[in-house]
A and B are shown apart, each in its own frame.
Chain A
Amino acid sequence: NAGVTQTPKFRVLKTGQSMTLLCAQDMNHEYMYWYRQDPGMGLRLIHYSVGEGTTAKGEVPDGYNVSRLKKQNFLLGLESAAPSQTSVYFCASSYRLAGVYEQYFGPGTRLTVT
């Protein structure tokens, strides 16, 4: 049971380049999330998904797009990277049980935009 995995672990982009971050979970969770964490700060929700084929905006969605074509995968895309998107990106997933949503996190992707 790998839990939540993220690909890649590290990436350096130049301003204007695009990339896709992949999140995969093998726990059959319905919900998946993308967060970003800037130095010394807590996590902020970018986008989330409550099921296959559905996505929704979180607290800081601008500059990002997401897709959930398969239940186990959640992709985060940066169409035109900017230095302000330099951050650590965490993916998480959760099951739904009686209104309680315990989230399981991946190890993170460190992205630097120069």
Chain B
Amino acid sequence: DAKTTQPPSMDCAEGRAANLPCNHSTISGNEYVYWYRQIHSQGPQYIIHGLKNNETNEMASLIITEDRKSSTLILPHATLRDTAVYYCIVRVTKNDMRFGAGTRLTVKP
């Protein structure tokens, strides 16, 4: 199983970029990296995913290292509403999305 390692918590100043790291050193060649977030007690929300190339959408950017052993989720201009738990997930099979403990990001004014 490809597992992920994330810091338990991070702080970020409002308006600044939030960079959330994730290690997935045992990832295999065909496994995607997914990022979700969970605001308070709501259901998780999909943010972005990638395989090899860097990806960007309206919410965030995903930077994957060339060896694919780590990635960074970037929220370019964090707001207070971005305070949440962020999960980095490497899909093992199409029906097995293992959520770890994630990183609790606190955006401070």
Q: Which residues of A contact B (CB under 8 A)?
A: 4, 31, 33, 35, 40-45, 48, 50, 56, 58-59, 88, 90, 92, 96, 99-108
Whether A4 lies near B95 (C-beta < 8 A) is: no
**Counting CB contacts under 8 A, is B68 at the interface?**
no
Whether A31 touches B95, Cβ cut-off 8 Å, given contacts A42-B100, A102-B49, is yes
Number of residues of chain B lying within 8 A (CB) of chain A:
21
Provide the residues of chain B in CB contact with A105, threshold 8 Å: 43-45
Whether B32 lies near A108 (C-beta < 8 A) is: no
Residue of A nearest to B43 (CB): A105
| A65-B59 Cα distance, complex, nearest whole Å | 36
| A106-B97 Cα distance, complex, nearest whole Å | 16
